[in-house]
Structure 1
């Protein structure tokens, strides 16, 4: 498939990841291999969008990188162009794919994206996060429908101390919202993920407590590897220590 034939959803996800990995363009030296590689990928994606205005804007901004005093402004223009391409690709993507990329510092969109995923559950939600704290309950627990089981799996070495008392209060106050919390062995968890009804898998690029606060974040539906991920984490869940 040529670059110009890229589907909107694929373009949306690729541009989102590219924005997330943008290197800084500062200093007076020549551009590094990392910077040039990123620029090449960025330009290819802008071309694949088919937006001629965006293509021209990106080319003009890229020229500014050759002048060290103008690099900060040039990078801002590059990123503005990428966000424009991102927004257009998101609008053209299926509704289920929209909202997967969360810009830096946008806490409301972070909440809305997670809430949208969790609220779709009919029976069971398993949230995996090695650095889990009480935010998973205070921010997102209320989005579940009554009767849906919420399972929280975190790392016994990195879990935050406020999770257990929050979970105990939750069990006392919300009897019709089942909750289970387990601690996995240290370093057994390698992802931050959300599993819906044991059939749908979403990966999250940051811990829920930090989502989009310091750097861009993504929530991505992992359809192609969902069965493997679900099976793997169900095994870890069964071999973890229940605390609530």
Structure 2
């Protein structure tokens, strides 16, 4: 089955994000690791490249042997080459949704594109929300958009947020309205970006650690799931405590 460019890009990005440790003593040999290798092989095969398919198959077969390191590197190289090719072919609206480890600028760019679609309201859900979310990411939200942050009701998190919130209010006033509430950490199961009560994006890592040590991605929820998340987190926001 041939995948459309968008689906191929997103699926390859997800594989890169969830790649197991391919070192000799890594978790590539676990059931989850073997499933990952199987998914990679199937996606490579779906592109119709006989050479890449054969190379991935052979490299997978000889993991754990005397040429393990070479084979592991070959698998990674093919995955990231195909991801780069798929991104070029994908629609402009979804490009850049996969964020490689260490690419802080790419992370900011990807998040900024999503924030930029907001017209009225931007609700950010992150149990680990701290000053980084405000200083590094929220600054890219459009003016006049109501920005809301829902974080965890933990003293260390609140202490990290409060000075940044105060400085934000002093600098921007009503031109960039910002409000922060906290809820029990156990209630915040997701890291989400909710746009205008309609669209929902999930991000694979908390904002304060995005792309620092591992790959991640931004994924847009389908309409049914988005509606569920908007209702659920709307209720949590209504019952949350304003940051004091």
8 Å Cα contact 1:125-1:151 kept in structure 2? yes
Q: Which residue of structure 1 aligns with residue 230 of structure 2?
A: 230
Alignment of 1:12-161 (within 5 A): 12-25=9-22, 26-27=24-25, 31-67=29-65, 69-157=66-154, 159=157, 161=159
Separation in 1, partners of 2:220, 2:74: 30
1:66 shift after superposition: 5.0
| Mapping of residues 198-217 of structure 1, within 5 Å | 198-217=197-216
Distance 2:220 2:148 in 1: 19
Q: Is the 2:112–2:140 contact (alpha carbons within 8 Å) kept by the matching residues of 1?
A: yes
Contact 1:126 1:153 in 2 (8 A): yes
Output the CA distance in 1 between the equivalents of 2:47 and 2:158: 42
Q: Distance in 2 between matches of 1:228 and 1:197?
A: 14
Q: Kindly report structure 1 stretches of 4+ aligned residues shifted beyond 6 Å.
A: none
Structural mapping, 1:4-15, within 5 Å:
4-15=1-12
Q: Deviations over 1:103-145 (max 9, x none)?
A: 1111110111011111221111111100011111111222122
Instruction: List alignment gaps of at least 5 residues for structure 2.
Output: none
Whether contact under 8 Å (1:156, 1:185) holds in the other structure is yes
8 Å CA contact 2:151–2:185 kept in 1: the answer is no
What secondary structure sits across from 1:111 in the alignment? helix
Following superposition, the deviation at residue 84 of structure 1 comes to 1.6
Give the structure with the higher percent helix.
2
Gaps spanning 5+ residues in structure 1: where?
none
Could you tell me which residue of structure 2 aligns to residue 171 of structure 1?
A: 169
Cα distance in 2 for residues equivalent to 1:183 and 1:38: 37
Q: Distance in 2 between matches of 1:56 and 1:203?
A: 34
Q: CA RMSD in A?
A: 2.0
Distance 1:223 1:32, change over 3 A: closer
Q: Distance in 1 between matches of 2:185 and 2:29?
A: 40
Report if the CA contact (8 A) 1:54-1:85 is conserved. Answer: no
TM-score by length of 2: 0.90
Question: Cα offset for 1:62?
Answer: 2.7
Task: Give me the TM-score of the superposition, normalised by structure 1.
Answer: 0.90
Q: Residues 79 and 236 (structure 1 numbering): CA distance in 2 closer, same or farther, change over 3 Å?
A: same
Tell me whether 1:220 sits opposite 2:229 in the alignment.
no
Q: Deviations over 1:198-221 (max 9, x none)?
A: 111100010011001111101111
